[in-house]
């Protein structure tokens, strides 16, 4: 969910496809709110939250002030966890749980990747232990803007998600927020936010897919969309995160829609993404060898892009291949035939063929985003709330045809109000927390199809 969409017919060649990818740099931008948040109605219960000034997940260069509710303190990645505070900083965040020497070494690695293997023999055993290997069935999860848009309502929204029976939550976080002030310097307020998110979601029994992206300005970011100039810095940060949340975050997605990280979703090559994927894989393997590494979900089932990633040997650096099969046209039904259109669920069969031809039949495909929007106006058509619920149910039946698709994350739990009508309206819940018909349809599909 990086770019505004441009809808056009998009086939499996390597031309510029600006199809229905979704997103906004606002997810990382520092935003202030204050006072009383509107009452949140969940499952018939109105929950009113009183919040103080709080800042959503940032992609800023650190020029804005930190939120009043979070300390300005920062801690160096690479320093001993209980070492002295950085000069001039006060109220350092509490040290994380005690680490083993091996864990400490993983979190303090600098420079070149420490994982030196080539093609892993197989994904970690956790893939089958989580029932996520090909043939083990489909699991439908939810994307939640826990680190930015939904942060102020984290607890009630987590409760709402849990009430559906869902077991997997996808959360996107910003490297540019974690280390906004410089390499190896952790933003205390953001670290505390991530700790709270993981604690809250794990407390509800969720498995977590964490998507990491957004390059800090100090590593060459000109806009939100750029890859890092120094992949080894990203590797170090991923090692730190994987180590800190070892055993608690089950999977790490390396970037979001890396095929369209330029403005307006112009096509970016797999060649450009490979160094980022390789660095992210090395960091996760060093920090938590049992965690799954998921390739950044690309915009659509783009066979040409996936084929190029395989030609480069990129399959050495992920356990799960991810795509975002939004539908073209945006009002289209989930059953639409592939027709060599990358924006069709059924086009996943062509992606799978590339994997099998390259010896990757043991790896699954995850749809880390998909869904339909319900705008009431704006520049792009969507569907009605009733049709959204109907398409959701039908899409689960379509995806169950493919035994190698073992996860699909509906985008998203709650609507937004900070972008265009189309971008804002994918949620199962409206902005105020009231339920669309798709909310009960989602819970019903999990139960009916056994896909929680």
The token duo for 422 is: 């189309």
DSSP 205: T
What is the rounded CA–CA span in Å between residue 235 and residue 183? 12
In this structure, the number of other CB atoms found within 10 A of the CB of residue 60 comes to 17
The DSSP H or E segment spanning 208 is strand 207-213
Q: What is the pLDDT of residue 265?
A: 66
The DSSP H or E segment spanning 193 is helix 188-203
Q: Which of 49, 110, 61, 91 is nearest to 240 (CA)?
A: 110
Q: Which of 434, 439, 369 is nearest to 23 (CA)?
A: 369
CB 290 within 8 A of CB 32: no
The token duo for 245 is: 């949340």
Q: Which of 277, 265, 264 is nearest to 306 (CA)?
A: 277
**Per-residue three-class SS string for 352-417:** HHHHHHCCCCCCCEEEEEECCCCCCCCCCCCCCHHHHHHHHHHHHHHHCCCCCEEEEEECCCECCC
Domains of the chain: residue spans and CATH: 125-449 (3.20.20.80)
Q: What is the pLDDT of residue 325?
A: 98
The token duo for 15 is: 């031309």
Backbone angles phi, psi at 355, to 5 degrees: -60, -45
What is the rounded CA–CA span in Å between residue 308 and residue 318? 15
Q: What is the pLDDT of residue 189?
A: 97
The DSSP H or E segment spanning 254 is strand 251-256
The token duo for 13 is: 């060649």
**Per-residue three-class SS string for 281-350:** HHHHHHHCCCCEEEEEEEECCCHHHHHHHHHCCHHHHCCEEEEECCCCCCCCCCCCCCCCCCCCHHHHHH
Q: Is residue 148 exposed (0-12), middle (13-18) or buried (19+ Cβ within 10 Å)? A: buried
For residue 81, give Cα distances in angstroms to 77, 101, 356: 8, 12, 44
Sign of CA dihedral 113, 124, 302, 21: negative
**Average confidence (pLDDT) per 10 residues, the chain, 452 residues:** 36 34 38 29 35 35 35 34 26 34 32 43 84 97 97 98 98 96 96 98 98 94 80 97 98 95 73 96 96 97 97 97 97 97 98 97 98 94 98 98 98 96 97 98 97 94
What is the rounded CA–CA span in Å between residue 276 and residue 258? 9
Tell me the β-bridge partners of 407: 139, 366
Q: What is the pLDDT of residue 123?
A: 82
Q: What is the pLDDT of residue 422?
A: 96
**Residues ≥6 apart with Cβ < 8 Å to 65:** none
Using DSSP bridges, classify how beta strands 139-143 and 405-410 pair: parallel, antiparallel or unpaired: parallel
**Residues ≥6 apart with Cβ < 8 Å to 88:** none
Coil vs helix vs strand at 213: strand
State pTM to two decimals.
0.79
CB 259 within 8 A of CB 23: no
In this structure, the number of other CB atoms found within 10 A of the CB of residue 11 comes to 16
Write the DSSP assignment of 51-101 as a string of letters: --SEE----S-S-SPPPTTS---EEEBTB-TT-PPPTT--SPPPP-S---H
CB 288 within 8 A of CB 242: yes
């Amino acid at each position: 969910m990086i770019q505004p969409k441009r809808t056009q017919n998009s086939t499996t060649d390597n031309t510029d496809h600006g199809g229905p990818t979704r997103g906004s740099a606002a997810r990382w931008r520092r935003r202030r709110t204050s006072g009383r948040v509107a009452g949140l109605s969940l499952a018939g219960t109105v929950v009113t939250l009183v919040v103080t000034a709080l800042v959503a997940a940032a992609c800023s260069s650190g020029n804005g002030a930190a939120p009043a509710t979070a300390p300005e303190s920062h801690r160096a990645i690479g320093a001993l966890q209980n070492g002295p505070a950085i000069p001039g900083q006060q109220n350092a965040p509490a040290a994380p749980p005690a680490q083993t020497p091996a864990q400490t070494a993983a979190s303090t690695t600098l420079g070149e990747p420490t994982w030196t293997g080539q093609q892993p023999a197989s994904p970690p055993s956790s893939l089958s232990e989580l029932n996520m290997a090909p043939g083990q069935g489909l699991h439908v999860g939810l994307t939640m803007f826990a680190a930015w848009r939904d942060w102020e309502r984290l607890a009630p929204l987590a409760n709402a998600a849990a009430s559906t029976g869902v077991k997997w939550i996808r959360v996107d976080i910003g490297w540019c927020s974690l280390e906004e002030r410089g390499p190896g310097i952790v933003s205390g307020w953001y670290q505390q936010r991530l700790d709270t998110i993981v604690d809250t979601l794990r407390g509800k029994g969720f498995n977590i897919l964490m998507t990491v992206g957004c390059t800090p300005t100090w590593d060459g970011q000109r806009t939100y969309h750029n890859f890092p100039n120094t992949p080894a810095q990203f590797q170090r940060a991923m090692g730190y995160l994987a180590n800190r949340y070892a055993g608690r975050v089950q999977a790490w997605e390396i970037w979001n829609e890396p095929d369209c990280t330029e403005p307006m979703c112009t096509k970016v090559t797999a060649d450009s993404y490979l160094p980022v994927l390789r660095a992210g894989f090395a960091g996760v393997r060093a920090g938590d060898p049992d965690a799954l590494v998921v390739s950044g979900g690309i915009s659509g089932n783009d066979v040409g892009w996936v084929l190029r990633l395989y030609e480069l040997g990129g399959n050495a650096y992920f356990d799960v291949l991810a795509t975002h099969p939004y539908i073209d046209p945006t009002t289209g039904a989930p059953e639409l035939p592939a027709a060599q259109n990358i924006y069709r669920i059924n086009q996943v069969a062509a992606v799978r063929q590339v994997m099998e031809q390259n010896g990757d039949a043991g790896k699954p495909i995850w749809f880390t985003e998909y869904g339909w929007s319900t705008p009431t106006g704006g520049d792009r058509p969507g569907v009605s709330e009733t049709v959204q619920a109907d398409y959701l149910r039908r899409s689960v039946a379509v995806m169950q045809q493919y035994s190698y698709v073992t996860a699909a994350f509906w985008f998203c739990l709650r609507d937004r109000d900070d972008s265009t009508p189309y971008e804002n309206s994918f949620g199962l819940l409206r902005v105020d927390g009231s339920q669309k018909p798709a909310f009960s349809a989602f819970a019903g599909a999990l139960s009916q199809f056994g896909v929680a």
